[in-house]
Amino acid sequence: MALRLTASLWNKSALQKWAYNLAGFNKYGLCRDDLLHENEDVKEALRRLPEHVIDERNFRIVRAMQLSLQKTILPKEEWTKLEEDQLYLTPIVEQVKKERTERENWEKEY
């Protein structure tokens, strides 16, 4: 209960916004899900995304690398805003994890 309360307070709070901006990746035009470390689960999840979402993701990552190389950041009006940052990958990663645990549990049992 307390955890849920904390989570609901955290979501869309000013504190989250402050932390989001502090992290700084939004200045490169990246989204949260662009930063996931590409382990097996994430790779599988990426395979399941529709093509246009992958294209957009690749564009953001390439742009961020270019900016980093040039030691610069985007103009402020192009920074990613927390409200516009959709978690396009996390739900799929969760599903992949669930499938993996289901598999592992079965292997453990039989």
Partner 1 sequence: MASKALKSPLVRHVTARGYAQAAPGVKKDLKVATAVAPNKVIAASLDNGSPLTRVTIAFKAGSRYEPQTELGLSHVLRSAAGLSTKNASGFITARKLGQMGASVSASGDREFIYYTLEATQEHALEALEQLNNMVSGQEFRPWELSDNTPRLKYDLAALPPQVRAVDLLHRAAYRRGLGNSLFVSPKRIGHVSSESLQHYAASTLLPTRCAVAVVGENMDKATLAAQALVLPNSAEAPTEATKYFGGELRKEMGGDLAHVALAVQGAPAGSSQALALAVAAKAFGHGPLVKWGSYNSPLAKAIGNIGPFAAAGFSVSYSDSGLFGVVLTVPKDEAKTAVSNAAKFLRGATLSADVIKAAKNQLKLQVLSEADDGASLAESLAAQCLYTGTAKSPLEIAASIDALSESDVSQAVSAAAKTKLSMGSAGNLAFVPYADEV
CB of 106 to partner 1, least distance (A): 6
Instruction: Name the residue nearer to partner 1 (CB basis): 78 or 104.
Output: 104
- Residues of this chain that interact with partner 1 (CB under 8 A) are 47-48, 50, 99, 102-103, 106, 110
- Considering only CA atoms, which of 96, 95, 91 is closest in space to residue 40? 96
CB of 110 to partner 1, least distance (A): 7
CB of 37 to partner 1, least distance (A): 21
Work out the angle at residue 56's Cα, subtended by the Cα atoms of residues 90 and 16, and round it to the nearest 5 degrees: 45
Instruction: Name the residue nearer to partner 1 (CB basis): 77 or 109.
Output: 109
CB of 92 to partner 1, least distance (A): 10
Taking phi over 0 as left and psi of -120 to 50 as alpha, with beta for the rest, 81 belongs to beta
SS (H, E, C) 9-26: HHCCCHHHHHHHHHHCHH
Instruction: Name the residue nearer to partner 1 (CB basis): 38 or 83.
Output: 38
Instruction: Name the residue nearer to partner 1 (CB basis): 50 or 75.
Output: 50
Instruction: Report the distance separating Cα 96 and Cα 48, nearest Å.
Output: 10
